[in-house]
Structure 1
Amino acid sequence: MHDRISLTIEDHIATVCFNRPEKMNALDMPMFAALLEAQQAIADDSTVRAVVLTATGEHFCAGLDVQGVMTDPSAIETLLSKGEPEQQWLGNYVQQVVVGWQQLKVPVIAALQGYVFGGGFQLALGADFRITHPESQLSVMEIRWGIIPDMGITMVGCSVAALDQLKLLAMTGKRISGREAQQLGLSTQLADDPVTVALELARSIVANNPDAVKAVKHLFNQYDGDNKASLAREEALQRTLLFSANQLEAVQANIQKRAPVFS
């Protein structure tokens, strides 16, 4: 793992920590590469049942390191390039950094504090849940550089906030507080200590049947407005869970009033 990112796995929880506090965890090319590497490492580790995204220092991520990236045409070309077929990317390099969290089968929780700008904001939207400090500042800031947000925001943002609010943020570059973000549906929960609360949430999720948790994420992520297909998907997923080893363990643990032990 690059020094830009640390990845630790303990008690089925993977913690991905941005480690560039001297630059407010701004995204440069090594950091993009480290994020993709972390996603792949988590995807390959069957013991991981939840992920927490956090950062060292006062700020989650101040967005793109403009000086380090925008002045290098080769870097821009890399960010806009497609992956190899076997990589199964949904979009280009920079989009995969965001939507890759949605492609993981396990839930991802972002702990947000300080600046959550531009690409950092889109990274947060790629998580399933966002635990946000009330005084943090969030912004879709790309318009200030004369560009659009292009890290998968239409995939990860439109499912959590009203379209007009996303357009407003993207067209103005307006900064909003964590409190305002929750009012707009962009934050799951407010907390004075987002990291602690994010880890508590991860532990509560990990205590449940991991097969059912993965099925819940798949169920909601696949919803596309086709009600007939969605109802069929619910039934199909339920059939995979019923009478499976972990489902039976959940039942027995409840009956016996003990903590379950899942495989």
Structure 2
Amino acid sequence: MSDTTRIAFERSGHIAIVRLNRPEKMNALDMQTFNEILQIQQEIASDPKIRAVVLTATGDNFCAGLDIQGVMTDPNAVETLLSQPEDYQLASAKALGNYVQQVVVGWQQLKVPVIAALNGYVFGGGLQIALGADFRIAHPESQLSVMEIRWGIIPDMGISVVAPSVIARDQLKLMAMTGDRVSGEKALQLGLVTETEDNPEEKARELANTLSLRNPQAVQGIKHLFNTDNLSPSESLALEEKLQRGILFSPNQIEAVQANLQKRDPEFK
């Protein structure tokens, strides 16, 4: 991939590690960060060897939100962020929303599971990016906030798509309208995070490794099944059947059965 400075990207076996890498600014989001996230999403989508993604950050804070000085003072930057990203093609999926929205929903469009490891401040756009992941592992003392109301604006990075499935709407509206912070422990009670751990990145890597050892077609099918909204009951049942028919008796599914019966680790392709 091209050189990136705001995001560090590495592969560890079948796992991709994506790291917000601007610790001197608490990983605040500027135009370059947005651009690099979109770039990396597309690279992951085009690499069939990647089976899981860990989304983390350098330093003590996951992300303090939007770099207000670097973005909001530039009308051209604001217009770009509210426009469709040019030449964006995530595998077979096109951009769902505008520039900043795609930074969040792009994680949902990836076929593989994405696990966010959260430390310190997880504010505004940083929280919305984390909500785009499939799982969120937070330090108990991390601080999460839908911060945009403090700047007199609404959260608009795809939160209306990614948040209602993980937190009750009244609690989501309360956080968005007040801008209050909640700890990692409170966020767990609200359903905003999946679990809390003293070392979120280590736990995220462990989970990513576990998922990478499962049949990749089945893991991808599960993500597709539970991320597909607005279907009637009959349509949901039909989707279950369609996905299952595509997996049954495939080489990887047969390998899963044989490895389980032989009590050995599977070798998936």
TM-score by length of 1: 0.98
What is the letter of the counterpart of residue 11 of structure 2?
I
1:64 aligned partner: 66
Percentage of pairs with the same residue: 67
What is the letter of the counterpart of residue 12 of structure 1?
H
Q: Are 2:193 and 1:159 equivalent residues in the alignment?
A: no
Per-residue CA deviations over 1:21-40 (Å, capped at 9, x if unaligned) read 00000000111111111101
Q: Are 2:257 and 1:251 equivalent residues in the alignment?
A: yes
Once the 2 structures are TM-superposed, how far is the Cα of residue 11 of structure 1 from its aligned partner? 1.2
Following superposition of structure 1 onto structure 2, how do residues 142-221 of structure 1 map, counting pairs within 5 Å? Answer: 142-221=148-227
Per-residue CA deviations over 1:9-54 (Å, capped at 9, x if unaligned) read 1110000001100000000011111111110110111100000001
Q: Are 2:258 and 1:238 equivalent residues in the alignment?
A: no
Moved over 4 A (4+): none
- Larger mean Cα displacement after TM superposition, 86-95 or 22-31: 86-95
Q: Residues of 2 paired with 1:121 and 1:86: CA distance?
A: 23
- Larger mean Cα displacement after TM superposition, 40-49 or 221-230: 221-230
Once the 2 structures are TM-superposed, how far is the Cα of residue 84 of structure 1 from its aligned partner? 4.2
2:230 aligned to 203, 224, 236, which one? 224
Once the 2 structures are TM-superposed, how far is the Cα of residue 135 of structure 1 from its aligned partner? 0.1
User: Aligned with 2:204: secondary structure?
Assistant: helix
Once the 2 structures are TM-superposed, how far is the Cα of residue 223 of structure 1 from its aligned partner? 3.2
User: Aligned with 2:170: secondary structure?
Assistant: helix
User: Aligned with 1:77: secondary structure?
Assistant: helix
1:54 aligned partner: 56
Per-residue CA deviations over 1:194-253 (Å, capped at 9, x if unaligned) read 000000000010110000000000000013252111011001100000000000000000
Following superposition of structure 1 onto structure 2, how do residues 66-145 of structure 1 map, counting pairs within 5 Å? Answer: 66-84=68-86, 87=89, 88-145=94-151
Over the residues paired in the alignment, what is the CA RMSD in angstroms? 0.9
Q: Residues of 1 paired with 2:18 and 2:198: CA distance?
A: 20
Once the 2 structures are TM-superposed, how far is the Cα of residue 2 of structure 1 from its aligned partner? 1.6
User: Aligned with 2:49: secondary structure?
Assistant: coil
What is the letter of the counterpart of residue 143 of structure 2?
Q
Q: Residues of 2 paired with 1:83 and 1:148: CA distance?
A: 21
1:41 aligned partner: 43
User: Aligned with 1:81: secondary structure?
Assistant: coil
Q: Residues of 1 paired with 2:215 and 2:229: CA distance?
A: 22
User: Aligned with 1:68: secondary structure?
Assistant: helix
User: Aligned with 2:8: secondary structure?
Assistant: strand
User: Aligned with 1:17: secondary structure?
Assistant: strand
Per-residue CA deviations over 1:158-214 (Å, capped at 9, x if unaligned) read 111100011000000000000000000001010000000000000010110000000
Q: Residues of 1 paired with 2:87 and 2:37: CA distance?
A: 19
Task: Kindly tell me the number of residue pairs found equivalent between the two proteins.
Answer: 263
User: Aligned with 2:218: secondary structure?
Assistant: helix
Q: Residues of 1 paired with 2:264 and 2:159: CA distance?
A: 42
